Each structure stands twice: as C-alpha cells, then as structure tokens.
Amino acid sequence: DVKVTQSSRYLVKRTGEKVFLECVQDMDHENMFWYRQDPGLGLRLIYFSYDVKMKEKGDIPEGYSVSREKKERFSLILESASTNQTSMYLCASSEGADQNYGYTFGSGTRLTVV
C-alpha cells in the first residue's frame, strides 16, 4: 500500500523554537506539498516542490521554509515558531501523470505552539 508518512501526529513547541516537520513518500512521486488546515479556512498551500532541490511558494509561505534534498522527503521548517502557527499540517504527494487521482495525503501533524 502506498504511503505518505508524517513523522509526528502531535507536536508541542515553544514560541521562538525552530521546528521541523518531516514527510516521506514511498511512491516515487515527483511532486510534494505542504498545507495547513484551520477550521473554517480549509486547506491552504504553504510550499510545494516539483523535484529535488526545487521549491515554490504557495499561498501562505511567510514564516515557513522547506527542504527537499531527496526525492522521497520533503521537510517543512518553522524558522521561529509563533502561536499563530498552531495548526494541522498536511503533507501530500502526486505523480504529474495521475491528474485524475489528485493527491495522496499523509495523516497530518497537529502542531501546538505555546
């Protein structure tokens, strides 16, 4: 069974900490994405990547950065965590050719910044 795995289901971090959220996919997908999900706002795209070492800003990149050193791994970095970054973070991947099937998502990381 194909998988997108997010390393943590729940995280609690302090304001100002540097936070790493890890995502690994085993489908050899070219494209990977980070979204945040907030009640009433749906999913908003933070960053995405088409290839190793390639990244593009999504709709809400401020306060975040990403790293993709290997095809299967896409990391989201909160440089200095703030309380307004408390949210559910969802990683997804897709194969460009499989447009009819959309994304494959991970189970999410619920981050609380205190």
Partner 1 sequence: AQKITQTQPGMFVQEKEAVTLDCTYDTSDPSYGLFWYKQPSSGEMIFLIYQGSYDQQNATEGRYSLNFQKARKSANLVISASQLGDSAMYFCAMRDAYNFNKFYFGSGTKLNVKP
| Minimum distance of partner 1 from residue 18's CB (angstroms) | 24
Among 55, 66, 78, 106, binds partner 1 (CB under 8 A): 106
With CA atoms as reference, report the closest residue to 48 among 105, 92, 99.
92
C-beta neighbour count of 92 within 10 angstroms: 22
* Contact string 43-72 vs partner 1 (x = CB under 8 A): xxx--x-x-------x--------------
CB of 27 closer than 8 Å to CB of 95 = yes
Residue 46 tokens, joined: 């933070």
> Of 17-36, which residues contact partner 1 (CB under 8 A)?
31, 33, 35
| Minimum distance of partner 1 from residue 102's CB (angstroms) | 5
